[in-house]
Amino acid sequence: MIYHKLAEIYDALVEDVTAAVCWADFVSKSVAGKHLLELACGSGTITSLLSKKGYSILATDKSEEMIAQAQKKNYNGEISFKIMNMTDWDIDESFDAVICFCDSINYLKSYEELAYVFRKAYQSLNKGGVLLFDMHHEKRLIEFINGWDEEGTIDGLSYQWLINSEYDQIVHYFNIIENNRVYQEIHVQKVFEVERVKELLADCGFSVEVLSDYDIFNEDLKEKYFFRATK
């Protein structure tokens, strides 16, 4: 199970409010309507920011623990939460936008799963609606080829976070220690080829625009691609 014990320290470990504001602004600039479906909402940082901009949101995540963390945040307007894996889509509702941020799309395991999510998103969008998501840049595989590690303590929990790249995957190893017990999680993210992703979106009927991290964060990090796919 991923995002189990990790959910307790997730915000303290990785939350980037400045980046979250940029993602929320990306939505504001891209979406005409106000009804959103969020995939992999995580701890709800972006969800909360969007709610304060007046969006009604159905926020989904496959982790019950992450949903529980998200529900603790402050929201305005019409917000609901649903435990759902994006590869097991069971929503019969239409939206002005489907969003999936923080490289969550990279948790999909194959191009077949990616195509499934794109088809479901297309079917769930109103005419003129948009699918917005980001994904890892291929250069991240080079960044982690020699490994990366971080250790620390958050709220009394000690942790070790290791990252390696293996072929077309970025693998995260988390060891979290509480009361001499070690909780281990392994997160695997597949790095997709940008041109093939564009083709899959086009096959669904989307008009596709790919942006860089400079366009969103004003920093040329070469870490992410940002997609705006319009129905």
The full set of domains in the chain, from first to last, is 5-137+192-230 (3.40.50.150), 140-188 (2.20.25)
Residue the block writes with tokens 């307007």:
77
pLDDT given at position 25: 97
pLDDT given at position 49: 96
Model pLDDT for residues 90-139, shown as the tens digit of each residue: 999 999 999 999 999 999 999 999 999 999 999 999 999 999 999 999 99
Pairing of strands 56-61, 35-38: parallel
Distance CA 75, CA 174 (A): 30
HEC per residue, 29-62: HHCCCCEEEECCCCCCHHHHHHHCCCCEEEEEEC
Mean pLDDT by 10 residues, the chain (231 residues): 83 92 97 97 96 97 95 91 97 97 98 98 98 97 96 92 97 93 94 98 98 95 97 98
Q: How many Cβ atoms sit within 10 Å of the Cβ of residue 49?
A: 20
pLDDT given at position 1: 58
Q: How many Cβ atoms sit within 10 Å of the Cβ of residue 40?
A: 23
Element (H, E) at 215: helix 213-217
In 3D space, the residue among 143, 135, 139 whose CA is nearest the CA of residue 225 turns out to be: 135
pLDDT given at position 5: 82
